Chains A and B, each alone.
Chain A
Amino acid sequence: MTTADELRTKPQLYYDDVSEGQEMPPLVIGPMTPTHLFRWSAAIENWHRIHYDQNFAVYHDGLANILAQGSWKQSILPRYLKDMCLPDGWPWKLKFQHRAMIVPGDTITVWARVTGKREVDGLGLIDLDIGMALQSKVETCPGTATIVLPIKGGKAIPYPFVPPQGA
């Protein structure tokens, strides 16, 4: 896990320093517990019982266990890209699918691999494959993303972010 101090002092990753095929540093979360899942349900007031009531999940819905929420996964992936871009890059966009389930006991590795890079209108766009893999290597959330990293000696990335024309 990343600490507050690491995020406070994180050195900038530059467009120039990234190459196609590069594996980005992963974020490892877990092992997940029922308490983690319940905390998320309470935080967003999602009371669907399959996320915290094991009897209901197993005996009513026929699931193997309570399940981590898709909304939680949807919030972890942008957080990972944000960390990657800090302090002055921009985690522009991502898309992903929900595949395998995450259950208590699972440890999740959030990962990204560079699939391409391009300069558009003076901005450094990095295309990524992304995902959240279980300890078994099963992928739960495959997707793609585009982040924007500063180019050394280049212009600042606009904030609020304005996508470059033609990107």
Chain B
Amino acid sequence: MSMTKNPLTDEIKALIGMTAEKVEASPPWGIEREGLRIFTNAIMDPDPRYWDDAFAKTTRYGAVVAPPIYCSYIGRKTLAGTEDPITRAFRENPNSDGIGGVRDGGPDQKGSLPPVPTSLKRILNAGNEIEVYKYPVLGDRIYSQAKYSQIQGRITKDGTPMLVVTVQTTYTNQNDELLCILRASSIRR
């Protein structure tokens, strides 16, 4: 009778605690008003703390702020002057799903963790954690640092091997002040 092996190999265990290079997540202009407007409209949040300077000055934050979760999206922008990633992806694969090839070689490759060496290819979102410490303000430059905070191996009841991989990303500003911590867990099976 063959036994399914736990997929948590020594090579994968060695990744736990590994920290990637700290990189600037924001574009060169940092947190700016127009990007913030587009983002807060998309989450349907009309909070004047995000756009009304006069009101924001009366709050405990003293200035217009941005939602901390915004930090995790500003690094995904395609900067002006770079090769259009969408055109490239569809040239290489006319049936591109819009993800594969679009981000390859893009700005979010900086500060990446090495891939988990596993034959388990299917990836499912297992959940997210967010800790909030400070709101970014207009003009802030945002830095991120990723880390494999936990990797667990399991065999399900039906004998399927799986890994639960948790990546923690810490966001700070140009003064090294902690803004927020995100943990994203994925299942590999």
Contact = CB atoms under 8 A, between A and B. Distances in A.
A56 B98 CA distance: 10
Contact of B67 (A8, A56, A75): A75
Nearest to A46: B76
B129 A72 contact: no
Interface string B15-58: 00000000000000000000000110111111111001001000
Given A75-B43, A161-B134, A87 B73 contact: no
A22 interface: no
Contact of B132 (A47, A56, A70, A78): A78
Contact residue range for chain B?
35 or more
Interface residues of A, number: 49
A44 B39 contact: yes
A137 to B, nearest CB: 21
Contacts of A46: 76, 99
A43 B42 contact: yes
Interface string A58-98: 00110000000011101111110011000110111111111
A83 B48 CA distance: 12
Contact of A1 (B44, B78, B128): B44
Contact of B131 (A44, A82, A93): A93
A93 B67 contact: no
B29 to A, nearest CB: 16
Contacts of B177: 160
A15 to B, nearest CB: 17
Nearest to B59: A87
Interface in B57-84: 59-61, 67-69, 73, 76-78
B183 to A, nearest CB: 8
Contact of A8 (B42, B55, B77): B55
A8 to B, nearest CB: 5
B69 A93 contact: no
A2 to B, nearest CB: 7
A49 B48 contact: no
B160 interface: no
